[in-house]
Structure 1
């Protein structure tokens, strides 16, 4: 009887060990299968597929390589007097190796203290699109090829005497601002002194004539009559 009980207990222990081993083996198999499935979803990237990181300024440097440089100059072609017309020549030059689009030249008049001056009136735009802007004017030159220069002659009416300043600058979609992109000069408007010399001569001659006093006129007439009588004697 004792032997049977020992065999039965031993059998139960074997059955328990076998069942536990089976469960552990199944769990291990599930884990390995899950690991295999996950590994299939992961795509490995080689070093050749990785793009090197670049600084943000490098793209800006590459784009700035295609920019050009445009210079501007303004010349007053005539002596300026109040009430007279005079010509203003605006020249833009593309010094760079690349063309430029939407080229615009802006200029304004000021007094010597750089306060806006509105004493100049545009009379002729020289065939270009010229529009008033911020107390001055903007000339639309449009496209300017590499090494190309354009100029326009504008006609203004001067309405006030004095020394004025002209400030000009040029911009485009494809250029950078450099010292030559700015220009300034002075313009002197003289007063209206036409005919003043003749008026002075007339005034001097009038001083030598009788003033219109009747007594003075009579005295001059008597003198003219008496002098010939003395000469006859």
Structure 2
């Protein structure tokens, strides 16, 4: 039962030993031509307004680390995760963000680059960041250990947060839909209503998770200087 349930996240569809399901990660480019229309439409203005708000917020979070164009990487991460989360809600489209392979490959290189930059250019600041201000001398070794562990597990927590949230909603909808065949008609209508509400909830989760991941990564980058 469990193997069949989790098989919806298994990228097993392949042609000539090439995994076709992972092509869903680049399906977001199908929506890009809207941005090149001669006369901008409402979709363009809405997307431009959203990215402008994100740019202003990331610029505020970066503080002294901000320079022209530094928010593009976080806006690109937000857009990429958002497209993949929303596309995964459509039937027969593989949810690539439900795999640690993808989420960890985004969070780990960025976190590692921030750490290398911080330790090479701002070594004293990185050491000071391990000990919060006002910490008693007897607790300093423990605080250094705790801060080091919490810093090391950051890319893993980011990846697991995204993966777990994507898996949880999909599993719940799958469990409910599998029992729909055996239910009487009056309960089936209630089940359909629940599925619609779950779909709305999952759409909100897809947007919130992409926002949370990009915000946290921005905060991590602002700590290295």
Same fold (TM over 0.5): no
Report the structure, 1 or 2, having the larger helix content: 2
Under a length normalisation based on structure 2, what TM-score does the superposition of the two structures give?
A: 0.25
Structure whose alpha-carbon radius of gyration is higher: 1
Per the normalisation by structure 1, the TM-score is 0.24
Structure having the larger proportion of residues in strand:
1
Q: Which has the higher contact order (CA 8 A, sep 6+)?
A: 2
